Structure 1
Amino acid sequence: MNLKPATREEVDHVIEKAGESFRNWRDVRLQERARLFDNVGKTLRENKEKIARLITLEMGKIIRESMAEVEKSATAFTYYAENGPGFLHPEPAKTDATDSYVDFQPLGVVAAIMPWNFPVWQCVRFAAPALMAGNTTVFKPSSTTPQSAIALQSAITESGIDDHCFNVVVGGGEVANYMIESPGTNAVSFTGSVSVGAKVAEAASRQLKKFVLELGGSDPFIVLEDADIETTAEGAVRGRFVNCGQSCIASKRFFVVKKVAEDFIEQFVNKTNALRIGDPMSPDTDIGPMVRKDALEALDQQAKDSIKDGAHVEIGGRTLERPGYYYAPTILTRVNQNMRVMKEEVFGPVAPIMVVENEKEAIRMANDSEYGLGASVWSEDVRKAERVAQKLDAGLVTVNNVVSSDPRMPFGGVKKSGIGRELSRYGILEFTNIRSVRIYEKSPMGQQINTE
Structure 2
Amino acid sequence: MPIATVNPATGETLKTYDALGGEEIEARLARAHAAFHVFRTTPFAARSELLRDAAELLEADQDDIARTMTLEMGKTLKSARAEAAKCVKAMRWYAEHAEELLADEHPRAHDVADSGAADTVVRYRPLGPVLAVMPWNFPLWQVVRFAAPALMAGNVGLLKHASNVPQTALYLEDLFRRAGYPDGCFQTLLVGSDAVADILRDPRVAAATLTGSEPAGRSVASIAGDVIKKTVLELGGSDPYLVLPSADLDKAVATAVTARVQNNGQSCIAAKRFIVHTDVYDAFAARFVQAMSALAVGDPMEESTDVGPLSSEQGRRSLEELVDDARGRGATVLCGGDRPEGLTAGWYYEPTVLADITPEMRIHHEEAFGPVATLYRVEDLDEAVKTANDTPFGLSSNVWTRDEAEKEHCARDLEAGGVYFNGMTASHPGFPFGGAKRSGYGRELSAHGIKEFCNATTLWYGK
Partners of 1:389 and 1:399 within 8 A in 2: no
Among 392, 396, 412, the alignment partner of 1:390 is 412
Write the letter of the residue equivalent to 1:409.
F
- Tell me what 2:6 maps to: none
SS of 1:327 mapped into structure 2? coil
- Tell me what 2:248 maps to: 228
SS of 2:276 mapped into structure 1? strand
Stretches of structure 2 lacking an aligned partner (at least 5 in a row): 1-14
- Tell me what 1:190 maps to: 210
Partners of 2:299 and 2:305 within 8 A in 1: yes
Residue 290 of structure 2 corresponds to residue 267 of structure 1:
no
How far the C-alpha of 1:381 sits from its partner, in A, is 2.5
Evaluate the alpha carbon distance shift between residue 70 and residue 214 of structure 1 in structure 2; reply closer, same or farther with a 3 A threshold: same
SS of 1:92 mapped into structure 2? coil
Residue 98 of structure 2 corresponds to residue 84 of structure 1:
yes
- Tell me what 2:155 maps to: 135
Deviations 1:88-139 (A, max 9, x none): 1101123131221100000011011111000110011111111111000111
Among 178, 184, 188, the alignment partner of 1:168 is 188
Deviations 1:222-246 (A, max 9, x none): 0101111111011110111001110
After TM superposition, the structure 1 = structure 2 runs for residues 160-309 of structure 1, keeping only pairs within 5 Å, are 160-309=180-329
Partners of 2:430 and 2:446 within 8 A in 1: yes
Among 351, 355, 372, the alignment partner of 1:350 is 372
The alignment-based identity, stated in percent, is: 41
- Tell me what 2:347 maps to: 325
Structure 1 ranges of 4+ moved more than 6 A: none
- Tell me what 1:51 maps to: 65
SS of 1:409 mapped into structure 2? coil
Alpha-carbon separation, structure 1, partners of 2:453 and 2:386: 35
Deviations 1:311-332 (A, max 9, x none): 1011100112412100000001
Partners of 1:328 and 1:349 within 8 A in 2: yes
Alpha-carbon separation, structure 2, partners of 1:281 and 1:152: 22
SS of 1:184 mapped into structure 2? coil
Partners of 1:389 and 1:398 within 8 A in 2: no
Among 389, 403, 416, the alignment partner of 1:381 is 403
Partners of 2:381 and 2:406 within 8 A in 1: no
How far the C-alpha of 1:383 sits from its partner, in A, is 4.9
Alpha-carbon separation, structure 2, partners of 1:383 and 1:146: 49
Deviations 1:156-215 (A, max 9, x none): 221111131010011211221222111110101111111121111000111111111111
Alpha-carbon separation, structure 2, partners of 1:382 and 1:42: 43
**Range 373-382 or range 116-125, more displaced:** 373-382
Alpha-carbon separation, structure 2, partners of 1:347 and 1:220: 14
Evaluate the alpha carbon distance shift between residue 204 and residue 336 of structure 1 in structure 2; reply closer, same or farther with a 3 A threshold: same
- Tell me what 2:28 maps to: 14
Deviations 1:237-293 (A, max 9, x none): 011100111001010111100000000001101111221111101111100000010
Among 99, 115, 118, the alignment partner of 1:98 is 118
Alpha-carbon separation, structure 1, partners of 2:100 and 2:359: 46
- Tell me what 2:381 maps to: 359
Partners of 1:8 and 1:175 within 8 A in 2: no
- Tell me what 1:113 maps to: 133
Stretches of structure 1 lacking an aligned partner (at least 5 in a row): 443-452
Alpha-carbon separation, structure 2, partners of 1:169 and 1:419: 25
Count of residue pairs the alignment pairs up: 441
SS of 2:106 mapped into structure 1? strand
- Tell me what 1:73 maps to: 87
Alpha-carbon separation, structure 2, partners of 1:434 and 1:212: 16
- Tell me what 2:391 maps to: 369
Among 3, 17, 24, the alignment partner of 1:3 is 17
Q: TM-score, normalised by structure 1?
A: 0.96
- Tell me what 2:455 maps to: 433
- Tell me what 1:123 maps to: 143
Alpha-carbon separation, structure 2, partners of 1:422 and 1:331: 32
Partners of 1:393 and 1:414 within 8 A in 2: yes
Among 406, 412, 434, the alignment partner of 1:412 is 434
How far the C-alpha of 1:382 sits from its partner, in A, is 4.6
Deviations 1:71-96 (A, max 9, x none): 11111110001100101110112313
SS of 1:213 mapped into structure 2? strand
Q: TM-score, normalised by structure 2?
A: 0.93
RMSD of aligned alpha carbons? 1.3
- Tell me what 2:50 maps to: 36
Alpha-carbon separation, structure 2, partners of 1:385 and 1:115: 33
How far the C-alpha of 1:59 sits from its partner, in A, is 0.3
